[in-house]
Structure 1
């Protein structure tokens, strides 16, 4: 049976991998494992060991704590089932495109979005 924390960590691995544009095979090569293992981690089927999570965090250029963000300290079953903005591929594509914009233009776009959301 999948543990909700393992599922959450797996989703965070998948979201970060997708956000930075890395395939399962590329991540597996960086970490030194088979891509099938990455698949199992991302679905929560297999638990990620501490040392492997460290390697994955390094390969995806995030701190290890990134994979636990969004979990409350209370009930992992509830936290893992809460709605996640990044479970929507369109939202991920938008974030990925946003960070591909040069910083100066990105700030201007952000300000525009804030103004438009106040109007709506």
Structure 2
């Protein structure tokens, strides 16, 4: 049986890898393992050792703590509620559309991004 922590860490690995535009093969090469092992980590089938997590964090340019952000022991692993945001699934970053939106958002120049953010806020307040 998969452990909720392993599932969460795997999702965070996949999220970060996707956000930086890296394939499983590329990450595996940087870490020195086969891409199938990355697949197993990302699905939570295999537990990531501390030293391997260190290597993955280094390859993805994030602190090790990044992989544990948002995990709540008492929360359901599939739909943990995010702190301060009732009604939002905690796993929103596993949604491909949400990830594409975030990636596109950060590709917009900062001044235009700020205006888009303000517009989105107004629209969500009205909804």
Please provide the CA RMSD for this pair: 1.4
1:59-101 Cα offsets, whole Å, 9 max, x none, are: 11211111111112x43xx342223111211111101111111
Partner of 1:86: 93
1:28 touches 1:38 (CA, 8 Å); kept in 2?
A: yes
Q: Within 1, Cα distance between the matches of 2:76 and 2:67? A: 13
1:31 touches 1:59 (CA, 8 Å); kept in 2?
A: yes
Structure 2 residues without counterparts, runs of 5 or longer: 80-88
Q: Within 2, Cα distance between the matches of 1:65 and 1:79? A: 20
1:9-54 Cα offsets, whole Å, 9 max, x none, are: 0011011111111100011111111111100100111111111111
1:40 touches 1:46 (CA, 8 Å); kept in 2?
A: yes
Give me the TM-score of the superposition, normalised by structure 1.
0.89
Partner of 2:124: 117
Partner of 1:103: 110
Structure 1 residues without counterparts, runs of 5 or longer: none
Runs in 1 of length 4+ with deviation above 2 angstroms? none
1:71 touches 1:79 (CA, 8 Å); kept in 2?
A: no
Higher helix share: 1
Give me the TM-score of the superposition, normalised by structure 2.
0.84
1:85 touches 1:91 (CA, 8 Å); kept in 2?
A: yes
Matches within 5 A, 1:1-120: 1-72=1-72, 74-75=73-74, 78-82=75-79, 83=89, 84-120=91-127
Q: Which has the higher contact order (CA 8 A, sep 6+)?
A: 1
